[in-house]
């Protein structure tokens, strides 16, 4: 009996394709439709895209909460309808008014936890439709601010009219919106000109395979990461045969493990279930069969 096709596939997405295009290529290469991801990248963005294959798609909610890191280029002088270079020009201003010191000072107000208004062209649901669908139709899209956290935001290079930034932020942060808001803080319209995700959680570009590898089915299979070593950053809960059997039956066995809201119970390299550990007992949140 052949081993199941499952695990993590860390891909370096190129500019141009959508994240769903990459998922479709992975499905063809691996011969399975059971492929998800831990967070999309816009078509104009590149970098780390974490794909979940087979039963590992059940880990999506657990891993999607990982923070992200980016190298972003903000261009001053124009804002756009999409907050990136794909949109139509919405406003113009003179970037000659800016200097490196002013840009560095303005970054301070965007660090930490704050309420961010997502871009109108986003995948957020509004009245049962995606916001970008309404925006493309010409409808006015008003999105409620969302709490995001920007752990660090540093100016790497100032080359007028562009500012190159390193961004470390929480799940759900729109770097396009950071670019828009930076321009507003400085009084000069701005948009996101380029974006590269350098890390998703503990996975970095050094761990990623080029998206072109997905044209080679054997190579794509060989690049799959499985077992506990592929769960860097997740809470691991080792269990013995007795506890593993009880979890598979939906029971709440006693377990000598620290309390956790969500961890991965495993017997050796075999994943058993996603569990919560409460009051010395393990409760199944989602099983692995």
Q: How far apart are CA 245 and CA 270, in angstroms?
A: 12
Say how many C-beta atoms besides its own lie within 10 A of residue 267's C-beta: 15
Structure-token pair, residue 213: 């590898």
Q: How far apart are CA 257 and CA 115, in angstroms?
A: 36
206 in active site: no
If we measure between CA atoms, which residue out of 225, 174, 230, 168 comes closest to residue 39?
A: 174
Check 12, 21, 42, 216 and give the catalytic one.
42
Q: How far apart are CA 116 and CA 145, in angstroms?
A: 5
| 272 Cβ contact partners less than 8 Å away, ≥ 6 residues apart | 239, 244, 247, 248, 265, 266, 287, 288
Q: How far apart are CA 51 and CA 32, in angstroms?
A: 13
Catalytic positions are 42
């Amino acid at each position: 009996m052949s081993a199941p096709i499952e695990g993590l596939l860390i891909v370096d997405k190129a500019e141009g394709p959508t994240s769903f295009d990459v998922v479709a290529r992975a499905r063809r290469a691996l011969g399975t439709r059971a492929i998800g991801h831990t967070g999309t990248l816009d078509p104009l963005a590149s970098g780390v895209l974490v794909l979940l294959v087979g039963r590992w798609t059940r880990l999506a909610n657990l891993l999607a909460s990982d923070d992200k890191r980016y190298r972003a280029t903000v261009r001053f002088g124009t804002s756009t309808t999409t907050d990136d270079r794909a949109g139509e020009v919405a406003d113009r201003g003179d970037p000659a008014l800016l200097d490196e010191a002013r840009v560095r000072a303005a970054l301070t107000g965007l660090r930490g936890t704050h309420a961010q208004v997502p871009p109108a062209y986003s995948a957020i649901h509004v009245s049962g439709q995606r916001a970008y669908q309404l925006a493309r139709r010409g409808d006015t899209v008003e999105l409620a601010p969302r709490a995001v956290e920007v752990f660090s935001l540093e100016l790497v290079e100032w080359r007028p009219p562009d500012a190159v930034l390193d961004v470390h932020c929480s799940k759900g942060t729109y770097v396009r919106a950071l670019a828009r808001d930076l321009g507003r803080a400085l009084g000069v319209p701005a948009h996101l000109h380029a974006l590269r995700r350098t890390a998703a959680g503990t996975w970095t570009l050094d761990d990623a395979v080029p998206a072109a590898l997905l044209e080679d089915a054997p190579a794509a299979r060989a690049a799959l990461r499985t077992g506990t070593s592929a769960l860097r950053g997740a809470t691991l809960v080792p269990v013995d045969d007795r506890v593993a059997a009880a979890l598979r039956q939906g029971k709440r066995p006693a377990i000598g493990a620290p309390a956790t809201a969500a961890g991965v119970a495993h017997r050796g390299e075999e994943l058993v279930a996603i569990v919560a550990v409460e009051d010395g007992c393990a409760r199944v949140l989602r099983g692995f069969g």
